[in-house]
Chain A
Amino acid sequence: MYTLGIDIGSSSSKAVIMKDGKEVVSSAVIQVGTGTSGPDRVMGEVFKNIDLTPEDIRFTVATGYGRFSVEKADKQISEISCHAKGIYFLHPEARTIIDIGGQDAKAIRLDAKGNIGQFVMNDKCAAGTGRFVDVMSRVLEIPLSEMGNVHFKATEWAFVSSTCTVFAESEVISLLSQGVSRENIVAGVHQSVASKACSLVYRVGVNDDIVMCGGVAQNPGAVDAIRKQLNKPVIVAQNPQVTGALGAALFAYENVKWLPED
C-alpha cells in the first residue's frame, strides 16, 4: 500500500511516497513553495524514476503553509504534527525538535511515544527563519549554499540583532561598511538565528535529545550556532527538508492501514 505526503511550504515544496508506512519509495524537493509552480512540479518529480503513478496512491495527506491548496489531498494535517511524526519515525529518541523553515521557526517537545507535549512557533516575524538567512546571504553576496562553509572561517561573530529582518539587514550593511569581515558577519547572522530558535526551545524545555529539521538544518553554520548556544548535541535529521512530508505520508498510512489491499 502506497501513501503520499506532500508538504507545501512558504519557500519550497516537498513530497514523499511510502510503502506500507515503513519504507520511503521516493522523495522530492522543489525550491519554490505555495502559490508557485512548486506543488505541481514536486508531484511530477516524486513519481519520476519510480514505477508508480498517482493512481497507485491510496491516501494523500497535505501539510505546510499551502496544505489547503492541494486539491488532490484526502486530508490536511498541520506541519507541526507532521514534522513530529516524521522525526519520531527517523529518530525515536528525539525529545525536542527544532524546525526552521522558510518563514516559520518551531520548537516541539515530544514524549517517549512521540506524542507532542508542547510546541511553540515564531510570531509574524521573519527573524530567525530561513528567509532571514536568505536575505542576509544576498546582502553579503554569498550563495545560500555557501553560508555554512563561510561560517567556519570566522574568527569571532559580529553582533547581528534577532528582532527584525529589516533592521538586521541594515545592521549587516553597516558592519560591511565598517570593514568587518564577511566571515564574522555570517557567523553573527547564524548566531542571531540561533538566539531566536533557542528562545523557542527554552519555552518548551531543553532536553538532551535534540533533532533539527527544516531547510535551515541544511546550513551547518546555523546548526553549529544552535549547538553552541544550547551547549547540547543537536542531531540533524536525515534529509531534513522532507521530514514534514514524511510525517504526512505516515499519517496517510495510519488513515488507511486497516483497509484491505486492492
Chain B
Amino acid sequence: MSTIFELISQFKAIADDPKKAMDDFKKETGKGAVGIMPVYCPEEIVHAAGYLPIGMWGAQGKQISKARTLLPPFACSIMQSVMELQLEGAYDELDAVIFSVPCDTLKCMSQKWKGSAPQIVFTHPQNRKHAQTAANVFCRAEYAHIKEELEDILGVKITKKALQNSIAIYNENRAACREFSDLVAANPGLIKLRDRHAVIKARWFMPKEKHTAMLKELNEAIKAADKAPFNGKKVVVSGITLEPYDVLDIFEENGFAIVWDDLAQEGRNFRQDVEYDEDPLMALAKAWNAFDGCSLATDADKPKGGMLIDALKKYDADAVIVCMMKFCDPEEFDYPILLLQFEEAGVKHIQVEIDQESTSFEQLRTRIQTFAEVL
C-alpha cells in the first residue's frame, strides 16, 4: 500500500497541473476533454461520452491584464482568470466547453466566450423548489440539450446505459469523497489543509473512477494511521472556493482544521448522490432540484445557515468561516441572512474575503489570527 505522503503527492501533481492530466488522458484513451465551467454541470453526461470532463477554475495568483478589456472590475476573480486563460489560448485544446449560468457574471461570460472550442450553454430552473415537477421537466430538457449538442460536437452516441453507468461511477466517487472528508475530520492533525484541498480538487481533472481508486487507497491509509496530535480549533467552511493555497496555510498556521466544507468547488459536489431514476437525465435533473444550500441555487427558504449550524454540531466544530468570493453577489446577498442565523444560534463565525488573484495576505492573517485568539 502506498503511503499517505505518496498518494497525496500524486493528487497534488494532478491538481496543480490540469494540462498534464488532460494530455495523459488523451494519450491513454485517444479521446479528448470537455471544459466544465463552474458550477453544477451534470458532468456525468460528458463522462458517458468517454471524454474527460475537466474543471475550469482559473489559476491561483495569476496577474490579470487582457481580461480587463472584456470584463468589468467587479466580475469575480475566477471569471477574470478564466477569461485571461481563454485569451491566452489555454482552453483551445478542449473539444467543447459547457457553461451553466446561475449568476449574472456566468450569464454574461457565456455570451462572450473567446476560446476556439465550441461552447454549450444551459440553464438551471429557478422555480426548482416551488414548482418541482415543472422544474424537473425543464432541467431534464436542458440536460437533453447538453447531451444532443455533445453528441453532435464529439461525434459519439451517449447511450442510456452509459449514462446510468456514469451516474453510478460518480456516486461511488461522491461516497469516497465523503468518507475522505469524515476521516480527515476525525484525525484533524494528520492531513494538511492544502493537501485536503488538493485531494478533492484533483477530482476535477481526472476520470472519477481513477480518482475513486486512488482515494479509496488513501482512505485506507488514513484509517491505518495513528492519531496525530491536534490542539487547534475545528471549523466548518463555506463559500465558492478556498484558494489560493496561501489562505489555507494561514488557517493552518493558526491551528484551524476543516472538518466539513460547504464549498462550490469541493463538498457541495459530493454531499448528496444522484438517486436512481429509470430515465438517467431525469435522475440528474431531480438531483439538482433537490440540492440545497448554495447561494447560486435558488431557494427562498434559505436553508444554508441551518445546514452549516447542523454540520457544526455534527462535527463538534468550534466555528464557521465564511469564505466570501470577492464580487460574488449571490453569496454576498446571502451573507446577512447567515449572519442573523449564526448570531441567533450563538455560533462563532467570521467572514474572510477570497480573491484568486491575491498575492498579499497580511489583512487576512490579522483576521484569522484574531479569530483564533478569540476562540
Contact = CB atoms under 8 A, between A and B. Distances in A.
Given A116-B374, A123-B353, A79 B363 contact: no
Contacts of A104: 363, 366
Contact of A124 (B339, B363, B373): B363
A79 B353 CA distance: 19
A124 B373 CA distance: 22
Main secondary structure of the interface of B (DSSP, over half): helix
Contacts of A120: 351
A77 B373 CA distance: 8
A225 to B, nearest CB: 24
A121 B367 contact: yes
B369 interface: yes
B370 A119 contact: yes
B363 A78 contact: no
Interface in B337-369: 339, 351, 353, 355, 358, 360, 362-363, 366-367, 369
A182 B185 CA distance: 59
A78 B362 contact: no
Contacts of B369: 76-78
A81 B369 CA distance: 9
A121 B373 contact: no
A79 B374 contact: no
A80 B353 contact: no
Nearest to A76: B369
Contact of B366 (A79, A115, A116, A203): A79
Nearest to B336: A203
A65 interface: yes
Nearest to B368: A78
A104 B365 CA distance: 13
For chain B, give the interface size range.
10 to 19
Contact of B370 (A81, A115, A122, A203): A81
Interface string A106-138: 000000000110011111100000000000000
Contacts of B351: 120
A70 to B, nearest CB: 15
B366 A80 contact: yes
Contacts of A81: 370, 373-374
Interface in B312-352: 326, 339, 351
Contact of A123 (B339, B362, B363, B374): B363
B339 to A, nearest CB: 8
A123 B358 CA distance: 12
B370 A78 contact: yes
Nearest to A34: B362
B158 to A, nearest CB: 45
Interface in A74-105: 76-81, 104
Nearest to A64: B366
Nearest to A203: B339
Given A80-B366, A116-B370, 5 more contacts: A65-B362, A77-B373, A124-B353, A124-B358, A124-B360
